[in-house]
Amino acid sequence: MITRRRFLIMAGSAITALTATQVEKVLAAFTSPPINRKDIKWGMVIDLKKFNELPQAKRRRVYQICKEIHNVPEMPNPKDRVEWIWPATFEQAFPNLKDEYLEEHLKWLEVPILCNHCENAPCVKVCPTNATWQRDDGIVTMDYHRCIGCRYCMAACPYGMRSFNWKDPRPFIKKLNTEYETRTKGVVEKCTFCVRRLESGKEPACVEASEGAFIFGNLNALESEVSKILRENFYIRRKADLGTEPKVYYLI
């Protein structure tokens, strides 16, 4: 294993050619603890009351920052829509909880929906090329280069949280992020819990933009904030009765 000290010796004079930011990124790779471990299970809590109390512009920012970071296109035709996270009504998000006696305020809640990174992810099981797989830390992620566009994963996902690129999405990216790859026509895509940001010690972008309405952390750590919140509050999950074990929890 190469230590930080050994790395600095090997780098020698070459490191002097790097910018300060580049040096910090390289060193971070040697100092940050690995996140993809079996003792970690990433999960997200969304406090719907806090989220809906945010001004509309701030709620929109939660969705928009995802598009900007991941080069998600903004397609003019709704039929071609590609999204990683988007707003739904309570009844759309939780159709199995529909009830004539449902509290009135719940009917008007805006519910952000995204990939649930299920423990028993049906999308992983049906992918014929392993383009979709589950990491040790529970994140269901994708290798876009392996995706052959069969859309079995879309059919298997009971939450409808995947998008298919019916057209080349690249001309419809409003502001290209050169640090993140683009996709091509015929490829499926979805939320990855911002796994690259996690690897650099950052929270998912939507969490950062939510001003405390989204909480992210290790569900396996008893002292993590998400674990404490789930122990102390009533929460619901989307279609929990299906047994997929979603890792996105909603406080109502």
pLDDT in tens, 199-210: 999 999 999 999
- What confidence score (pLDDT) does residue 23 get? 47
Burial letters 153-177, b for 16+ CB under 10 A, else e: bbebbebebbbbbeeebeebbeeee
Structure tokens at 149: 């566009």
pLDDT tens sequence across 111-145: 999 999 999 999 999 999 999 999 999 999 999 99
Which of 3.30.70.20, 3.40.50.300, 3.40.50.1820, 3.40.710.10 is the CATH number of 37-251? 3.30.70.20
The confidence band for 3, taking pLDDT boundaries of 50, 70 and 90, is very low
CB 50 within 8 Å of CB 213: yes
- 9 pLDDT above the threshold of 80: no
- What confidence score (pLDDT) does residue 29 get? 44
Domain ranges of the chain: 1-31, 37-251
The whole-number average pLDDT for the span 38-62 is 96
- What confidence score (pLDDT) does residue 30 get? 42
Q: Report pTM.
A: 0.84
Structure tokens at 11: 């780098």
Q: Smallest Cα–Cα separation from 147: which of 116, 189, 117?
A: 189
Residues contacting residue 142 through CB under 8 Å, at least 6 positions apart: 131, 132, 133, 188, 189, 190, 192
- Rounded CA-CA distance 100/94 in Å is 14
pLDDT tens sequence across 52-74: 999 999 999 999 999 999 999 99
Phi, psi dihedrals of residue 228, rounded to the nearest 5°: -65, -45
